[in-house]
A and B are shown apart, each in its own frame.
Chain A
């Protein structure tokens, strides 16, 4: 793992917005908008394992090796805990997150905005726009909340059943904290104080053609709003800019998609033209903005069965995300440089 240390160079014009830039690998990561430097804090639900790469002191190579061996032994003897959803914290923090972190820091140079809108503890529902042909946006949001949130919160994603049908993908998704997007799972996670992430557009959003970029699709049937109402957790609109340009979907080979049972078979400028090389995402510059939380605890949990309220709240969330997307896009000068 390369030492990608990030230091804030300047805060943006609105106070809530913190820009993240890649700096020389010297200073410690600090979050200006949230005050004092983030200290390692034990997670309320589980004790965080020290990450193997958090001991980069080259003089202590022996310590590093020892930690690596301890980790390997723990894994090989099955001595770790997995929650009921299949979330393997030990593996996620030590292997899965470090694997996608370079993509987050170096490739997409993700900047997070409004991280203070995500609560430090307790349940919340993060609702985001979905785009980019492959769900890289879900992965990047997970890294953002884990790395850039002062409390290093783990995002529990709600995924489509297709994902859990696929070999390896479904397995890794569960180990990384995801579960099936269904009412009982969503409510159970939010009730136990987890940060739940949902992409209500689903395949309509992630598989939309490039010409429709940043145009929000229909927000499902508002199931996420009912779940939030029933559990009384705030809804945090999350707008992701940059994911649309990772794999611009300029075509769709529908018969091939039907053949393999996929919702679409994308044609991007590089895929399938370059074969496996087409799987390399374009290095667009990303912004992830967390908006003002929308409270649901003022409503009665029984209001979850009031379709009008659910529709109104769904529209409110959708509008907020759409407007934030337009604002972020108007501030963006270049797709790749930001």
Chain B
């Protein structure tokens, strides 16, 4: 990948950027990344771009970061980049949920066309030295023919047929093209696994809040998560240091889906594979959980990635393991367990005393 090249024109590795542009600041990751960067006195300006303004508390946290209400699909974004002589672009606006972005067509347009427009603007702007993309491990797909762990060099067994994963795969392709055309720009692609945590809102955080949790009968997906704070720290590190390349970003360890559901104190209900599609559609229609087909495949077969490059080359070790991150989410959201630890303990005591009585 072209990103492995560095050029004399760029500043030496490790230098801080002076003007950063962050897309998708109305969402948790983009907004909080802008807030973190704004808190860094070495950075002169932080521009946050989104089509909708961030919620008020997020906007307050963003401090001196400037919010620019702009659509990255509009060529106007080129004016923003060149006008402020942006040197670092963090593209964190990839949406995975068609529901919240106004349908699948709008989501695809925002993801793919938006990225193309943004990259076109970056290519024209000589000030840009670094581009960071928030991608996803969904680009590896999810199938029973997968190896247990994906590393960065692997390609999916079946190309993602649609949805978020396909968008991300296409966007990565455009970014590779951009890297070839602008070899002086350092390009970092971060493939994040599913986020979890007390504050972030994702499909998974909604899923585990259901009172009874539908799973695919006869399958137990291996789930690898990433704590939201680790995700932010990785984005911040990528924005402030020169670390070109593709990196899988995920926490250590895995949970089985059934195990995660038990840790949340919820009850799983197995749905036969044939009925999974209709059940997902019903839940989506009722606006309970915004399941996309590739997320249902993920909950069917799971996915685990190898994070050796993240630790060795990128120099970051996640602070939370998958289980710790999940437990933090369960505590932080104060999920009401159906089968809590206390209830289990009292049931255990009850059985023991009953047995002693009968003996």
Contacts and interface: CB of A to CB of B under 8 A. Distances in A.
Given A70-B348, A170-B218, 14 more contacts: A65-B351, A65-B352, A66-B352, A69-B351, A77-B263, A78-B258, A82-B222, A84-B149, A164-B145, A165-B144, A167-B219, A170-B219, A174-B222, A180-B145
Given A77-B263, A77-B341, A81-B253, A86 B147 contact: no
Contacts of B220: 86, 171, 174-175
B75 to A, nearest CB: 43
24 contacts: A66-B352, A69-B348, A73-B345, A73-B348, A77-B265, A77-B341, A78-B260, A78-B263, A79-B263, A84-B149, A84-B253, A85-B222, A164-B145, A165-B144, A167-B216, A167-B217, A167-B273, A171-B219, A171-B220, A180-B144, A180-B146, A184-B148, A184-B149, A185-B147
A65 to B, nearest CB: 6
B147 A88 contact: no
A171 B222 CA distance: 10
Contacts of A1: none
**Chain B binding surface SS class:** mixed
Contacts of A78: 255, 258-263
B148 A77 contact: no
A95 B127 CA distance: 62
A54 B67 CA distance: 65
Nearest to B301: A164
Given A77-B341, A168-B218, A188 B356 contact: no
Interface in B330-344: 339, 341, 344
A62 interface: yes
Instruction: In the A-B complex, list the 7 residue pairs whose CB atoms are closest, starting with the nearest.
Output: A167-B218, A78-B262, A78-B263, A164-B144, A168-B218, A78-B259, A165-B144
Contacts of A257: none
B254 A86 contact: yes
Contact of B148 (A61, A76, A188): A188
B263 A85 contact: no
Contacts of A65: 351-352, 355
A326 interface: no
A176 to B, nearest CB: 12
Contacts of B341: 77
B222 A86 contact: yes
A86 B355 contact: no
A173 to B, nearest CB: 11
A88 B256 contact: yes
Nearest to A161: B145
Interface string A182-199: 101100100000000000
A296 interface: no
Interface in A246-265: none
Nearest to A69: B348
Contacts of A76: 262, 339, 344
Interface of A: 61-62, 65-66, 69-70, 72-73, 75-86, 88, 161, 164-168, 170-171, 174-175, 179-180, 182, 184-185, 188
A86 B344 contact: no
B3 to A, nearest CB: 24
A238 to B, nearest CB: 23
Nearest to A83: B254
A82 B219 contact: no
A182 B355 contact: no
Contacts of A165: 144-145
A77 B262 contact: yes
Contacts of A61: 359
B310 to A, nearest CB: 15
Given A82-B255, A82-B259, A84-B222, A184 B344 contact: no
A82 B355 contact: no
A78 B145 CA distance: 27
A72 B348 CA distance: 9
Given A73-B345, A164-B144, A171-B220, A86 B256 contact: yes
A65 B351 CA distance: 9
Contacts of A79: 263
Contacts of B253: 81, 84
A201 B185 CA distance: 50
A39 B147 CA distance: 36
Given A168-B218, A180-B147, A184-B147, A82 B356 contact: no
Contacts of B260: 78
B286 interface: no
A174 B254 CA distance: 13
B265 to A, nearest CB: 8
A165 B352 CA distance: 41
B148 A85 contact: yes
Contacts of B263: 77-79
Interface string B132-157: 00000000000011111101001000
Contact of A86 (B148, B217, B339, B351): B148
Contacts of A80: 259
B304 interface: yes
Contacts of A170: 144, 218-219
Contacts of A188: 148-149
B266 to A, nearest CB: 10
A44 to B, nearest CB: 18
Nearest to A70: B348
Contacts of A66: 352
B110 to A, nearest CB: 34
Contacts of A85: 148, 222
Contacts of B144: 161, 164-165, 170, 180
B306 to A, nearest CB: 8
Nearest to B253: A81
